[in-house]
Amino acid sequence: MTQGSTKKDIERRKKSKFKVGVIGATGYTGVELLRLLILHPDVHLEVITSESKAGKKISELHPSLDGIADIELQKIDTIKNHELDLVFLALPHRVSMDFVKEHGLDGFRIVDLSGDFRLNSASLYEKWYEKEHVCPSYLDQSVYGLPELNRDAIRNANLVANPGCYPTSTILALLPLIQQQMVDVDSIIVDSKSGVTGAGASPKTFTHFPNQFGNFFAYGLKSHRHTPEIETILGTVSYDQLTVQFTPHLLPIDRGILTTTYSTPRKALNEDLVRDAYLNYYEKEHFVRVVDQPPSVKNVRGSNFCDLYATYDERTNRVITISAIDNLVKGAAGQAIQNMNLMFGLLENTGLKYPPLNP
């Protein structure tokens, strides 16, 4: 496959549905991909895989899809029997890179939902993920899949690294401030809270119901792997080396992320200047809504929206931003489909025009 697709190729394919596969379809993000893809007007879901559940129908494992997506799960090695335009890798960190090393990028384009290709340095990856990167040459070919930042590069990419959920909520909240050099970049504080689906479907002690219900706590203090992702991506638009103090917390809810950031102005600011910066920056975006009051995770649930509030506190001389996303949609599957739409030359919001669930 050549880099990207020619206009002629895109127009030819628009006449028929693009064929896609989901590798690792049984986890939370995999099932969320299926929920959105089965109603996408320009996509045919050709194959879904699971090594441990092959032979079963996805609706047997996830009854919410009964009568909607009664598709049989297959082993990964069967994808060679399918002519695919793109595959989504809904695989764990450290596993996606094995798939890319084995299959390359000649047969189909890839949107990877793990963290294996989000960082531009193998040594940085190995420091934070504590595993050797098996195909570092692909890091240079990967495009970070935040459409609001890298839209043009995503269109021509063969390998897109879908952003993490915490970084999505953080980067969108800080982009206008960093790009317009409105705040100091050496001591930004990020405080994020996530629902338990962000930890994946595999059972863990700290997500076990008796431990989680009625509880609220910080984790990954000083060491969460999303820290270098946030710093690296915001660093691409920063005027100087950027440092973020990132602290994640676990909420006793199933899905949603609320992120609050605090930064210090590097020039005179007021409420109107801050608000106008955000309104102007995101004016033409499909999925970023600049709101007039602090957002709630309930108001983005099940949607691809990021609700974003920005304000200035004169008393403390701080810029405060608050963002809300659904970690499984804009933080994972929805953003992956948004990237796919760009790669296929489709309207960016195709198959994603779902209003949030409320309440």
Residues 66 and 150 in one domain: yes
User: For residue 6, what pLDDT is reported?
Assistant: 56
User: For residue 212, what pLDDT is reported?
Assistant: 81
Is 51 a domain residue?
yes
Contact 320, 12 (CB under 8 A): no
Residues 16 and 30 in one domain: yes
Is 2 a domain residue?
no
Residues 189 and 270 in one domain: yes
Residues 224 and 251 in one domain: yes
Cα–Cα dist 274/68, whole Å: 45
Instruction: Give the CATH number of the domain where residue 260 resides.
Output: 3.30.360.10
Q: Is 306 a catalytic residue?
A: no
Question: Which is catalytic among the residues 69, 86, 165, 274?
Answer: 165
**Could you tell me which of 129, 189, 198 has the C-alpha nearest to residue 318?**
189
Sign of CA dihedral 13, 17, 19, 21: positive
Residues 129 and 185 in one domain: no
Is 181 a domain residue?
yes
Residue-number span of the structural domain to which 297 is assigned:
166-330
Residues 204 and 288 in one domain: yes
Residues 158 and 178 in one domain: no
Neighbours of 140 (CB within 10 A): 8
Is 223 a domain residue?
yes
User: For residue 1, what pLDDT is reported?
Assistant: 40
Is 1 a domain residue?
no
Residues 181 and 324 in one domain: yes
Is 351 a domain residue?
no
Q: What is the DSSP secondary-structure string of 226-257? A: HHHHHHHHHHTT-SS---EEEEEEE-SSSS-E
Residues of the chain with pLDDT under 50: 1-3, 12-13
Residues 151 and 219 in one domain: no
Contact 196, 212 (CB under 8 A): yes
Give strand ranges (E) for the chain: 18-23, 43-49, 86-89, 109-112, 143-144, 159-161, 188-194, 217-218, 244-250, 257-263, 288-290, 306-313, 318-325
Residues 290 and 199 in one domain: yes
Residues 325 and 339 in one domain: no
Is 357 a domain residue?
no
In terms of DSSP bridges, do strands 257-263 and 288-290 run parallel, antiparallel, or are they unpaired? unpaired
The pair of structure tokens assigned to 277 is 């910066």
First-to-last C-alpha distance (Å) of the chain: 45
Tally of structural domains, the chain: 2
Neighbours of 117 (CB within 10 A): 27
Contact 132, 154 (CB under 8 A): no
- Read off the pTM: 0.93
Instruction: Please report, for residues 28, 136, 262, 274, the alpha-carbon distance to residue 141 in angstroms, rounded to integers and kept in the order given.
Output: 27, 10, 33, 35
Cα 180 → chain centroid: 24
Residues 70 and 97 in one domain: yes
Instruction: Please report, for residues 67, 91, 227, 328, the alpha-carbon distance to residue 197 in angstroms, rounded to integers and kept in the order given.
Output: 24, 15, 19, 8
Is 350 a domain residue?
no
Instruction: Give the CATH number of the domain where residue 152 resides.
Output: 3.40.50.720
